Amino acid sequence: MNGTTDQAHHPDRVWSVADHLDDILAKLQLPAPVSRQLLDAQGCVLAEDLTVPLPLPPFDNSSMDGYAVRAADVAAATEGSPVTLTVIGDVAAGSGELPTVEPGQAARIMTGAPVPPGADAVVPVEWTDGGTGLGPAATMRAHSHAPQDAGGEVRVHRPAADGAHVRRAGSDARAGEPALSAGTVLGPTQLGLLAALGLDTVTVRRRPRVVVLSTGSELVQPGEPLGPGQIHDSNSFQLTAAARAAGALAYRVGAVADDAKTLRTTLEDQYARADVLVTSGGVSVGAYDVVKETLAGLGTDEGRVEFRKLAMQPGKPQGFGLIGPDRIPLLALPGNPVSSYVSFELFVRPVIRTLMGHPEVHRRPVPARVTASLGSSPRGKRQFLRGAHDPVAGTVTPVGGTGSHLIKAMAHADALIVIPEDTTEVPADAVVDVLPLGPC
Ligand SMILES: Nc1nc2c(c(=O)[nH]1)N[C@H]1C(S)=C(S)[C@@H](COP(=O)(O)OP(=O)(O)OC[C@H]3O[C@@H](n4cnc5c(N)ncnc54)[C@H](O)[C@@H]3O)O[C@H]1N2
Ligand code: MOO
């Protein structure tokens, strides 16, 4: 705040979900694209338009094991009156030197092998006697057992039209045409295409490095016994896993006690490896709400974190700012486990997706019919309930109640049910928006 009347940042302002999110996204700076080896780019977003450098396939090749022939030679072939051709050799996949097929000749050819000069069609081996003289063949004989089949004669029982069983050079992709456009998420098939095009590296947006730390003197690591008043730190695991699922490289820092100095030095230690900092806990109005105390009091050189009230439930108290010399975005989420997870979905996930250049920044809402009454919802707040979504039936069933401590119920839900600010009752069979929480 600048001391004058700044309505937008007045401490009493109640922020809408959309305004808080817009403010966060507007302050992000996209990192420069990087070059990555293909498999290191999996799941990343392409940062440049790519052009096909060479045709696919690079040369005319056979789609069948059989005989490369001149179509005119076999036009009259039938089983009763086969056409006999002289076999001039084998063309295997990877063959460099190719024989020329003259009239009356055939070259035995394997799937993927280049169609030799002179030939304009391929007759599958099943339409021939395979060189055996014994009627229709089911297969070629292995070269190691019957090397003589690379020569001699073959009887062709059926005609093959010009171009039959030939995969033309460039029939998949022509040199110079677009291969993939910037913004494409690189999955297995896209990486396969890049490899086929001969590219070994690709320019992508790098995955943001997200550092997650939880705060609270009551927190104990899983695996440790609980003392009086203690609970296990679940948020840092949940949020780190959620950051990974969103596409980030996420690092979990153990829970920090409610001590301003420790929190500050712990955060400073993370500056070098963080593109985004996420904290949980310590943001409400208690006497030990150390995140708020520490970050709200940062000097201007250290950045500024603003603590806000949002018109949402759960997730009312939120902090956001840019801190440290590199002005790293920091999102301070509320400590209640459901609140921190819902806040992650609504605010941190879009940050990660924006930084990685992802075309789908937001979860897409889908309509669903509620199978039971959702009860009352606070007026003026956007409420996010947990639900089990059945996309086939188009229904959603509430899981657990509204309490933001209900960790087990959340683990059994797969969607958030969104109740708009102006809705106060949702009866059974009403249609609501749900946000499915699937992997993409
Ligand atoms: N007088 C008021 N009290 C509270 C208000 C309010 O407006 N006035 N807001 C409530 C709301 S809403 C929320 S949400 C919480 C937010 O609290 P904090 O962010 O300060 O979080 P803590 O107090 O540290 O913890 C809250 C709750 O969550 C548990 N917790 C915290 N961290 C973890 C963790 N890593 N793993 C598992 N559980 C965690 C903690 O033990 C508390 O039970 O404030 C309300 N209070
Ligand atoms: O907003 Mo708190 O997040 O309701 O529990």
What is the per-residue pLDDT across 176-191, written as a single tens digit (0 to 9) for each? 999 999 999 999 999 9
ipTM score for this prediction: 0.98
* Torsion angle (degrees, nearest 10) of CA 438, 274, 238, 246: 0
Range in 43-52, 263-272, 294-303 with the lowest mean pLDDT: 294-303
Q: Which CATH superfamily is domain 61-167 in?
A: Molybdopterin biosynthesis moea protein, domain 3. (2.170.190.11)
> How many angstroms separate the alpha carbon of residue 337 from the centre of ligand 2?
9
Contacts for 429 with CB less than 8 Å, ≥ 6 apart: 369, 370
Per CATH, domain 366-436 is 2.40.340.10: yes
Nearest to 158 by CA among 82, 70, 64, 259: 82
Ligand 1 pocket, residues with Cβ under 6 angstroms: 214, 216, 218-219, 231, 233-236, 255, 280-286, 289, 314, 316-317, 334-337, 339, 404
**CATH assignment of 34-54+178-205, among 3.90.105.10, 3.90.79.10, 3.40.50.300, 3.40.50.10320:** 3.90.105.10
Q: Which CATH architecture has domain 7-31+207-355?
A: 3-Layer(aba) Sandwich (3.40)
Ligand 2 pocket, residues with Cβ under 6 angstroms: 313-316, 334, 336, 339, 404
363: helix, strand or coil:
coil
> How many angstroms separate the alpha carbon of residue 57 from the centre of ligand 1?
60
Q: Are 395 and 440 in contact (CB under 8 A)?
A: no
Residue-wise over 229-261: b if at least 16 C-beta within 10 A, else e? eeebbbbbebbbebbebbbbebebbebbebeee
Mean pLDDT score, 196-214: 97
Q: Is the pTM of this model over 0.90?
A: yes
260: helix, strand or coil:
helix
Measured distance CA(31)–CA(204) in Å, rounded: 10
| Ligand with the closest atom to the CA of 378 | 2
Measured distance CA(36)–CA(202) in Å, rounded: 5
240: helix, strand or coil:
helix
The pLDDT value recorded for residue 414 is: 98
For residue 5, pLDDT over 70 is answered with no
The pLDDT value recorded for residue 4 is: 45
| Mean pLDDT, all residues of the chain | 95
Which secondary-structure segment (H or E) carries 342? helix 337-343
281: helix, strand or coil:
coil
Contacts for 198 with CB less than 8 Å, ≥ 6 apart: 53, 54
The helices-and-strands tally (H runs, E runs) of the chain is: 9, 29
Nearest to 124 by CA among 172, 77, 55, 88: 77
Which secondary-structure segment (H or E) carries 245? helix 235-246
Instruction: Specify the pairing of strand 328-333 against strand 276-280.
Output: parallel
> Where do the structural domains in the chain lie, given as residue ranges?
7-31+207-355, 34-54+178-205, 61-167, 366-436
286 confidence band (pLDDT: 50, 70, 90): confident
In this structure, the residue with its CA closest to atom 42 of ligand 1 is 336
Q: How far is CA 21 from its chain centroid? A: 22
The pLDDT value recorded for residue 322 is: 97
Q: How far is CA 280 from its chain centroid? A: 26
- What pLDDT digit, counting tens, does each position of 363-401 carry? 999 999 999 999 999 999 999 999 999 999 999 999 999
> How many angstroms separate the alpha carbon of residue 323 from the centre of ligand 2?
25
